[in-house]
Chains A and B, each alone.
Chain A
Amino acid sequence: MNSKEMTRPRRKQPPRVGDHPAFRRSLLAVVILITLLMVVAPLLVIGVQAFSLGIGYFGETIANSDTRHAILLTALTALIAVPINTVFGIAAAWAITKFDFPGRRFLLVVIEIPFSISPIVAGVSYLFVYGLQGLFGDMLQSADVKILFALPGIVLASLFVTAPFVARELIPLMQAQGRDLEEAATSLGASGWRTFFSVTLPNIKWAMLYGIVLCNARVMGEFGAVSVVSGNIRGQTNTLPLHIELLYHDYNTVGAFAAASILALLAVVTLIAKVALERRGAGRRPTLAAPAPQTEI
């Protein structure tokens, strides 16, 4: 756009405090220093500690059946929770942005609740609903359905905590895109599904994948809510984050760091995926207003 014209008048104003090079540099230095201390240093420590007793011991920790099971359980939880939350996120964003209905704003707020409350609250509230002393306790007990302290509880807690991730990415984008294309498609006789797959989905693809990546990272890393409902049965309901805590409390510091390095590795992979997606997504932005050409999804 005409950004040049917009910035030109500013030049004539006296330089602001923030423009001074010394100020800018010291600000930059502070930011870099804080990043190093708060982010880079701990990550380095994880790596160094994990291998401090040699690669053999690292391998031993990872090969330990409890650790392996924790990794598997965490992956399985993500495999269940992420697709469900993706479908939920798309449906919620679709409903909120493409339709008008009473309670639309309320729904928007409800979706955001897991963002704003502490995961431990989520965990405890699941105890109050599904626990033996809870709302459905007697019913579940007599039907012999185990939700808490088993896989379903872990998945439920993870679902709750990560529910907003995909929706949150999609809603602003879909709001900006408006409804014109869908309305055009419908008026040309496309069915609801056809409209979704041929018009909406190609437009939101990158934002959706971005949301999935974030959602996945959070599911794998979730500690608080899962800790309450897991029961910490090692080799059965111990997810990777819980297993790390267990090893740490056990004075097995190196083992804890080895397990933590696996989780950190997952985070780094996530980060790379996120950056890659952002690049591709950014390249697409200008074509937002027009339906993207059909590509493989």
Chain B
Amino acid sequence: MKSLILAGALAALLAPLSANAADKILNASYDISRELFEAVNKEFVAAHPGVTVDQSHGGSSKQARAILEGLEADVVTFNQITDVNVLVKGGFVSDDWKSDFPHNASPYYSLPAFLVREGNPKGIKDWSDLVRDDVKVIFPNPKTSGNARYTYLAATAYAKEAFKGDDAKVDEFIGKLFKNVPVFDTGGRAATTTFVEREIGDVLITFEAETRGIAKEFGEDKFDIVVPSVSLLAEFPVAIVDKVVDKRGSRDLAKSYLDFLYSPEGQTVLAENGNRVNDPKVAETFKADFPEVRLVTVEDVFGGWDKITSEHFASGGKLDKVLNTR
């Protein structure tokens, strides 16, 4: 009897390995997208009976690394373009992946936004409020958190506009902002705990998509979401992992999965989970959920990710200087 149960358990665990390859794909995604893709996959499977979409979640840099080492993901849905580029360099994803799907291969987008305590007691409306002496700001350390890098870049982009490119004033603004951060946590999840459970700070900066998840989990009536006048476009790139789909013969399914993300049904699920989408009809339906905001891009303001890395995030770069003088 015991051995029967054991054999059953073994079979159940090994079964996925022997299933028909073209019926199932693996989507390697970032760490906080579990519920999002659970909802997406449910819709996709309903429209494509008989297929399975498996999910792997982790920090998207870690996921890219795992794919290089043999994690057989057919598609990636990441939150950082640089991590797809890692796969391009490794020969897993084609050079022109950005043109394979519409909107820079980013089916949805988001932006750094503010989560404030209920009623917005400090009256925080825009980036300029964050450098006030009476405001404490929470976001994780940009050295270790991709989320906070967007915050840092969005604040810099705002300051560049506000001070018309006066670099000294921009640096001063960023310096003041960082002085208003009482603790730097290593990741977005830890910063959320600091803000929500330890009740430190007046405003938490994170992706708009995530502010909703936080409000949902910890109480909608405890927080307000504030969208600043201008913010940075955060893209969520998707790509087919050529090397894997060619080996497994799953290219068609992988493509139809990513296409689904652009379909009205897919875009609706994405929007329901707090992500902004490009489909005009869906965007119109969810208009009330997404306040107007002017978005600037990394390319326009900073001249691309490579330049940002060398100028801001490399050791000894601008970010290090800000952190050191804090």
Contact = CB atoms under 8 A, between A and B. Distances in A.
Interface of A: 72-73, 75-76, 79, 127, 130-134, 137, 140-141, 146, 148-151, 231-237, 246-253
B222 interface: no
Given A150-B17, A250-B32, A251-B213, A76 B57 contact: no
A137 B70 contact: yes
Contacts of B175: none
A248 B69 contact: no
A233 B68 contact: no
Contact of B56 (A72, A79, A231): A231
A146 B17 contact: yes
Contacts of B217: 251-253
Given A232-B57, A233-B55, A249-B31, A76 B9 contact: yes
Interface residues on B, range: 20 to 34
Contact of B6 (A79, A127, A252): A79
A246 B34 contact: yes
A292 B84 CA distance: 64
B69 A236 contact: no
Nearest to A141: B70
Contacts of A247: 34
A187 to B, nearest CB: 41
- In order of increasing CB-CB distance, the 8 nearest A-B pairs are A131-B69, A132-B70, A251-B217, A233-B56, A149-B71, A231-B71, A250-B34, A232-B56
Contact of B13 (A76, A130, A251, A252): A76
B26 A233 contact: yes
B73 to A, nearest CB: 8
Contacts of B57: 232, 234, 246, 249
Contact of A72 (B13, B35, B54, B213): B13
Contact of A236 (B9, B16, B32, B66): B16
A232 B58 contact: yes
A251 B214 contact: yes
A73 B32 contact: no
Given A233-B55, A251-B213, A251-B214, A132 B68 contact: yes
Nearest to A126: B69
Contacts of A130: 70
B12 interface: yes
B69 A132 contact: yes
A247 B217 CA distance: 12
A133 B69 contact: yes
A146 B26 CA distance: 15
B311 to A, nearest CB: 30
A149 B70 contact: yes
Interface string B209-228: 00001101110000000000
Contacts of B35: 250, 252
Interface in B1-60: 6, 9-10, 12-14, 16-17, 26, 31-32, 34-35, 54-58
